[in-house]
Amino acid sequence: MSDSLSRGMARRDFLARTALLSGSAIIAPWISPVKASAAPIGAAALSSTGFDPAFALNVAIPLAFSAYSAMSGGPLNLPPGYQATALILGDRALAAALAAQHPVAAKMVLRNNIFGLIGNNLSTGTAFVAFRGTADLDDVLTDLDIIATPYGFVPKFGCVQSGFHALYRMLRASIVANLGAACAGCTDLLVIGHSLGGALSVVSAPDIFANIPPNLAPRLITFAGPKSGLTDFVNPFNETIASCYRVVNYSDLIPLLPPCPYEHVGAAIYINSGGLGALWRHSLYAYRQGLQRLVG
């Protein structure tokens, strides 16, 4: 058996065991690879939540795709009216300095330090921060520091997953340097992320609101995001960040991780993309398809 196949099987065994501990093993695609039969919530039923599935499909999803495109240098394909004003760049010097304590986060930044985009739509007065994810999130969740650490950007704000916290530390200077310019003339701030980018969205939001001018209250829409903090982080987060929606595809296991005692923030919006396979269910393409089915 090759080393890469062995590692892949070990990661899937870890995720399956975690699903069992979470009481959700029946939706793990590699344990029981059957198509989820649950129907997505109707768009009309979402009106009471304040979540706009059409906006998520037509604005948030293209912003999330563009965050990945920025990493690879491809065309951004931003939604109409939106422009990028800066890249989110990881601080490679800081990553090298923190490599001993946070080797996986540091390796990610040293390998490719483009983690998304900052920009705006001046016609609607909307600025945005869009974080990319990573193709190897299962590696990150098994190897990244899973121990909780105090949230270091706002006092008395509880504890978050230390690996996500460390990675955001490596990106923060880029956001501080560029967010103000993007927000000029704007009254609204969107923070978007898929997968690991969802965790970065959550970890960044209280800091952006409290510490980074112009201190706009961020509105979060995340896709396939893992859990980011403990109860003592989740409670003040939900009291501080009034608008936070996390979109979850049926049979995507990543939102179940890390295991208890980690918890989710915000409000869950469930979709069903259809299709088989762990990679598909977690992909941003599947989330786009699930929203298309929801919007109709």
Tokens 């990493």: give the residue.
Answer: 71
Sequence-separated (6 or more) residues with CB below 8 Å from residue 47 = none
What pLDDT is stored for residue 137 in this prediction? Answer: 56
Average model confidence (pLDDT) across the chain: 86
pLDDT confidence band for 251 (50 / 70 / 90): very high
Q: Of the given ranges (96-100, 103-107, 218-222), which has the lowest mean pLDDT?
A: 103-107
**Eight-state DSSP code of residue 60:** I
What pLDDT is stored for residue 92 in this prediction? Answer: 98
- Domains of the chain, residue spans: 55-295
Sequence-separated (6 or more) residues with CB below 8 Å from residue 173 = 91, 94
What pLDDT is stored for residue 134 in this prediction? Answer: 83
Alpha-carbon gap, residue 272 to 291, rounded angstroms = 8
Tokens representing 232 are 């003592």
User: How is the beta sheet containing 114-121 ordered, strand by strand?
Assistant: 83-89, 114-121, 126-131, 188-194, 218-223, 243-249, 267-271
Contact 243, 216 (CB under 8 A): no
Q: Which residues pair with 191 in a beta bridge?
A: 129, 220
What pLDDT is stored for residue 185 in this prediction? Answer: 97
Return the CATH fold of 55-295: Rossmann fold (3.40.50)
Q: Of the given ranges (143-152, 182-191, 196-205), which has the lowest mean pLDDT?
A: 143-152
Alpha-carbon gap, residue 107 to 10, rounded angstroms = 21
pTM for this prediction: 0.86
What is the tens place of the pLDDT at every residue in 227-240? 999 999 999 999 99
Of 237, 25, 272, 33, nearest to 151 (Cα)? 237
Tokens 């993309």: give the residue.
Answer: 273
Of 274, 273, 269, nearest to 288 (Cα)? 273
